[in-house]
Structures are given as C-alpha cells and as structure tokens.
Structure 1
Amino acid sequence: MRLTRPILTATAAAAVLALTGCGSGGDGDDKAAVPATASGSLEHLAAEVGCKPTIQIDADELRQASCRKSDADGKFILATFATDRGQREWINGAKDYGGHYLVGRKWVAVGETTKTVSALRATLGGDVEEGQDHSAHSGSH
C-alpha cells in the first residue's frame, strides 16, 4: 500500500487527536540522562519500552501502532517510517494538532503528556518536539 502526502498528514492528525484532544497536559520537564537514540522496527521499539503494539497502519512508507505501557506512563502512538522525508512530513502535519513528540531516526512516539514522552525518552533517547498549544483557543473542547 502506498500512502500519499494528504493521507500521511491525515493519519498524523488522527493519531494526535486520538491522544491529546485540544489541550496540553504536561506537568514538567524531566532532565534525566538521555540514552543513545534507539533504532529498529516498530515491534523492537515497542519491546524496548515494554508495550505490545496494536497495529493501526501497516504500509510500506508508514507503520503506526497504539501502545499502552503496563505502568502509569500512559498511552502513546508509535510510528516508523521508510524515509526521513516521510517522517518529517508526518510530524509537520501532526504538530498543527498539538501533542508531545519524541523523535528518533525514522520513528516517532506521540504521547498524551510531557510525562509520557519523558518516560519514553529515558529508554529510547531521541529529541522532544511540541505541537501547537490549543489550550488557549476556546473554552470548550
């Protein structure tokens, strides 16, 4: 299955909205030591953080799954990409919808909160990126 740019953006937006809605729900930045950035398949990355992925998209360009860790770190979306460009297009499209992103080489984890992303970063490494904050836009979500 080939995914077009509009489809990649739509799947990115759906992933973020499924997790975050409009609000941001972080409660601080963890400054713990960050390990070297992990790499590997979606299943390998999921195993590293102790979750069994529920595959949502299984295509040549993008594999995406939802995960919930057994501890209290919350749920998150994990996606792997065939190309760096595909990954960046997905992230850029998703950021318009808010969210907290942990970005590695050809993978991204989207967490419900900053705490979730920080906990994942302690195992997977990577760089934290933030989407737009929609909490100031309207009184109801």
Structure 2
Amino acid sequence: MNVTRPMLAAAAAVAALVLTGCGGSDGGSKEASVPTTATGSLEHLAAEVKCEPNMQTDADEIRQAICKNAAGKFILATFATDRGQREWINGAKDYGGHYLVGRKWVAVGETSTVTALRKTLGGDIEEGTDHSAHVSGDPSEGATHSGH
C-alpha cells in the first residue's frame, strides 16, 4: 500500500495542475468548446468517434482496442475502476505519449489525434514523460564510459 499512496498523491498533484492550468486568463473560450465528457462501453465510445475497434485486450479490469478514424490511429481503453485507470495511466505515462482521459476510459495517440477526439468525447488531455532531455546529442559521450 505504501507504493500506491505515493502514486495516488502524484496523480492528484498532476490532476490539480492540469485542472488549474486549464483555467488560464484567456483560455475560457477554448474550454467552452469542449463537450461534456462521454461515458459508456468501449464499443459505444468507438462508435461516437466513428472507428471500428480492433480488440487487443478483453479482460474484466481493462478492455483495449486499436482504432483508426479520420483523426488518426489511436488506442482506446476502458477500465472497470477509476483506480485501475489511474494506475494504468501513471505507468503508461513513463513511456511518453498524449492521453485523452475520461471517466474510466482513455484514448492514446498523437497530439493532433487526441485533440480531435476531444471535440467529440470531451475529457482532459494529459502528457506523458518527455525523455528527449535524457538523450545526448554527442555520440562520442558514450565512448568515455567504455573503458578505452
């Protein structure tokens, strides 16, 4: 349980930052165009965004499919519990990416794709960890650690 509490605290902090960040001084008109967050089964959500889901995982806790529509290719997943969803997102964010998050569902894809999906499904956009700062642009840097 000690592992879960820090994860939940971090998720709450991220959610608070996302929510307060969206209420900027001139961002009101943009937020007004976002519809109420959709709910429903994976098939219902897929139908809302006009894609035929290619099921990858169909389990009690998570259902996950690959979808493609005019906005692009994306992963659509639904969850049995809010906690299961948040744990999945927290783990997935370590790999980067762009996440459109609703209640017990998430869509993962390129920025343009999740932005387009948001116009239909509502939800909040979350960003995964950006690892580009951890990559050195100097290929000789690795040679200093090779023992030569």
TM-score range normalised by the length of the shorter chain: 0.7 to 0.9
Q: Which has the higher helix share?
A: 2
The structure number with the bigger radius of gyration is 2
Secondary structure of 1:136's match? helix
Higher relative contact order, chain-length normalized (CA < 8 Å, sep 6+): 1
Which residue of structure 2 aligns with residue 26 of structure 1? none
How far does the alpha carbon of each residue in 1:80-124 deviate from its partner, in whole angstroms, 9 at most, with x for none? Answer: 00000000000000000000000000000001x211111000000
How far does the alpha carbon of each residue in 1:6-61 deviate from its partner, in whole angstroms, 9 at most, with x for none? Answer: xxxxxxxxxxxxxxxxxxxxxxxxx4610000000000000000100000000000
Task: Give structure 2 stretches of 5+ with no counterpart.
Answer: 1-29, 140-148
Q: In 2, Cα distance between the equivalents of 1:68 and 1:133?
A: 25
Secondary structure of 1:117's match? helix
How many Å apart are 1:74 and its aligned residue? 1.3
Report the identity percentage.
79
Q: 2:131 aligns with which of 122, 131, 134?
A: 134
Q: In 1, Cα distance between the equivalents of 2:103 and 2:114?
A: 16
Counterpart AA for 1:104: G
1:4-23 aligned within 5 A? none
Q: In 2, Cα distance between the equivalents of 1:123 and 1:74?
A: 14
Q: 2:87 aligns with which of 86, 89, 105?
A: 89
Q: In 1, Cα distance between the equivalents of 2:111 and 2:57?
A: 24
Which residue of structure 1 aligns with residue 39 of structure 2? 39
Counterpart AA for 2:85: Q
Secondary structure of 1:133's match? coil
How many Å apart are 1:134 and its aligned residue? 2.0
Counterpart AA for 1:77: I
Which residue of structure 1 aligns with residue 120 of structure 2? 123
Q: In 2, Cα distance between the equivalents of 1:137 and 1:55?
A: 34
Secondary structure of 1:132's match? coil
RMSD: 1.4
| TM-score normalised over the length of structure 2 | 0.69
